[in-house]
């Protein structure tokens, strides 16, 4: 990981550890090789860029951090809790309460409107519902506005939106109910360079205002300058 790179103004903010991993490894199947990962350490409110060539294990590592898979080896601490060896139901609960996830394919519910999609985390988690201010609907509307989704699009099925718009809806959904950590897996791969940079700046500005930590995965090293830290996964032979 590169140096601490604290931004001006951060000194007065909390410096609690958002995430720490040690000796994390994962095997996709008995006959598969053990994929090992560098140790991570991220403070609250910091933004980490995770990059590496295709097949290096970026998505696998993110699925461990999201609790979609359980690590084969090592320890994972998130928000001061050891989440390495929890049952899948507990990992699902932790994700619903504390993590905003933006998947590569966005994973929006196609027949629901943008507003209904953004409200989903607050329906799944009482904690996220409680944190959505002033109300879940008002927060969802405010996030959609901040992410430049025009109001006349809010009541259409999300499948009728452009890829860029769907991606911004996915970002609004990840941010709603103020999760402590956002995990984003290559959400910009379908965009041109200008829209990619604009999206990342918007996401990080909103995250910064909420003091949310972000882990952003991409193979595109040209995006690294937006982030406080970067970690490179090595090519697998
Ligand atoms: N569902 C799976 N079952 C078995 N092996 C998998 C599965 N998903 C990934 N792998 C293997 O794990 C390794 C790492 O894959 P992963 O998708 O994490 O890499 P990546 O860096 O995200 O790649 P890309 O940039 O192409 O998305 C690869 O060898 C891949 O074949």
Structural contact between residues 97 and 128, judged by C-beta atoms closer than 8 angstroms: yes
Q: Give residue 186's region: left, alpha or beta (phi > 0; psi -120 to 50).
A: left
Structural contact between residues 211 and 205, judged by C-beta atoms closer than 8 angstroms: no
Return the sign of the alpha-carbon dihedral for residues 152, 153, 155, 160: positive
Residue 220, pLDDT > 80, answer: yes
CA of 55 to the centre of ligand 1 (A): 5
List ligand 1's pocket residues with C-beta within 6 A.
Answer: 28, 32, 35, 52, 54-60, 219, 236
Please write the tens of the pLDDT for every residue from 6-41.
Answer: 333 333 445 699 999 999 999 999 999 999 999 999
pTM for the structure as a whole: 0.90
Distance, in Å, from the CA atom of 101 to the CA atom of 31, rounded to the nearest integer, reads 30
Nearest residue (by CA) to ligand 1, atom 18, is 57
Structural domains of the chain, ranges and CATH numbers in brackets: 16-219 (3.40.50.300)
Please write the tens of the pLDDT for every residue from 37-77.
Answer: 999 999 999 999 999 998 999 999 999 999 999 999 999 99
């Amino acid at each position: 990981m590169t140096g601490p790179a604290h931004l001006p103004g951060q000194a007065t903010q909390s410096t609690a550890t958002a995430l720490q991993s040690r000796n994390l490894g994962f095997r996709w199947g008995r006959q598969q090789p053990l994929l090992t990962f560098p140790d991570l350490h991220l403070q609250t409110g910091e933004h980490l860029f995770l990059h590496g060539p295709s097949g290096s294990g970026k998505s696998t590592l993110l699925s461990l951090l999201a609790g979609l898979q359980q690590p084969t080896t090592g320890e994972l601490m998130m928000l001061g809790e050891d989440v390495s060896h929890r049952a899948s139901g507990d990992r699902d609960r932790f994700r619903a309460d504390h993590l905003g996830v933006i998947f590569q394919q966005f994973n929006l519910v196609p027949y629901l409107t943008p507003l209904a999609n953004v409200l989903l985390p607050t329906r799944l988690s009482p904690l996220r519902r409680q944190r959505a201010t002033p109300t879940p609907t008002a927060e969802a509307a405010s996030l959609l506005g901040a992410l430049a989704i025009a109001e006349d699009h809010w009541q259409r099925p999300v499948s009728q939106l452009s890829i860029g718009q769907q991606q911004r809806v996915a970002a609004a959904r990840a941010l709603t109910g103020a999760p402590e950590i956002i995990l984003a897996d290559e959400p910009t791969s379908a965009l041109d360079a200008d829209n990619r940079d604009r999206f990342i700046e918007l996401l990080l500005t909103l995250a910064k205002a909420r003091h949310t930590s972000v882990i952003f995965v991409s193979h595109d090293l040209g995006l690294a300058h937006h982030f406080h830290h970067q970690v490179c996964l090595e090519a697998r032979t």
